Amino acid sequence: QKEVEQDPGPLSVPEGAIVSLNCTYSNSAFQYFMWYRQYSRKGPELLMYTYSSGNKEDGRFTAQVDKSSKYISLFIRDSQPSDSATYLCATAGGTSYGKLTFGQGTILTVHP
């Protein structure tokens, strides 16, 4: 079993839709939960991170962590074609603080 599981998609939505991206993880020691966006032929870009459980909002993006169910979510409101990218969840903390563990990434396409 992978430490972080993410549905690779692809996910295709119309412009303006609400997008929900999700990951599950197995190591209860993880404390930090990150979402990265990666455009084609570019490096990953950190969107936001959450420490422990709870929600965090940044503009159209909301990250949500439920440690009881080991579930990580990213919501994108009013999605735009420019949001089309691969979204990667990642975790850190626990016994290997210096290491990020990534999900496989979900390919998102927002069509006009």
Interacting residues toward another protein by CB under 8 A:
6, 8, 32, 34, 36, 41-46, 49, 51, 88, 92-93, 97-100, 102-105
Least distance in angstroms from the C-beta of 56 to another protein = 12
Q: Which is nearer to another protein, 45 or 66 (CB)?
A: 45
Q: Which is nearer to another protein, 15 or 58 (CB)?
A: 58
- How many angstroms from the chain centroid is the CA of residue 101? 12
CB nearer to another protein: give 18 or 51.
Answer: 51
> Which CB sits closer to another protein, 18 or 97?
97
For the CB of residue 23, give the shortest distance to another protein in the complex, in Å.
Answer: 11
Whether the upstream peptide bond of residue 10 has omega within 30° of 0, thus cis, is yes
Q: How far is the CA of 108 from the CAs of 40, 47, 48, 92, in angstroms?
A: 11, 15, 17, 24
94 to each of 40, 48, 100, how far by Cα in Å?
A: 31, 19, 11
Q: Which residue has the tokens 């197995």?
A: 26
| In the complex, minimum distance from the CB of residue 60 to another protein, in angstroms, rounded to a whole number | 20
Q: Cα separation of 99 and 8, whole Å?
A: 22
What minimum distance in Å lies between the beta carbon of 83 and another protein? 19
